[in-house]
Amino acid sequence: MAGRICRTAEEAFRLGWEEPCDHGFADPGECRTCRLSDAEIARLAVLLNGLATPAPAERLAA
């Protein structure tokens, strides 16, 4: 069963997310070690918002 290929980042993320963590928790969200802290989530949100913002070059071209 080796060689399963994840075609999208989303699929790879989901597979990793649903897999039990190394600490014996079936749901990594339940694991204190694996789950993201509030600070980490806030930082990720900032990063993702930055990526979602349209490129400034678009405004220059207009």
Q: Which is nearer to Zn ion, 23 or 43 (CB)?
A: 23
CA trace torsion 15, 9, 28, 41 (10° rounding): -160
Q: Does 34 bind Zn ion (CB under 5 A)?
A: yes
Q: Does 23 bind Zn ion (CB under 5 A)?
A: yes
Q: Tell me the torsion sign for CA atoms 8, 14, 19, 21.
A: positive
* Dist CA 3 CA 35 (whole Å): 27
Q: Does 14 bind Zn ion (CB under 5 A)?
A: no
Q: Does 31 bind Zn ion (CB under 5 A)?
A: yes
Interface residues with Zn ion (CB under 5 A) are: 21, 23, 31, 33-34
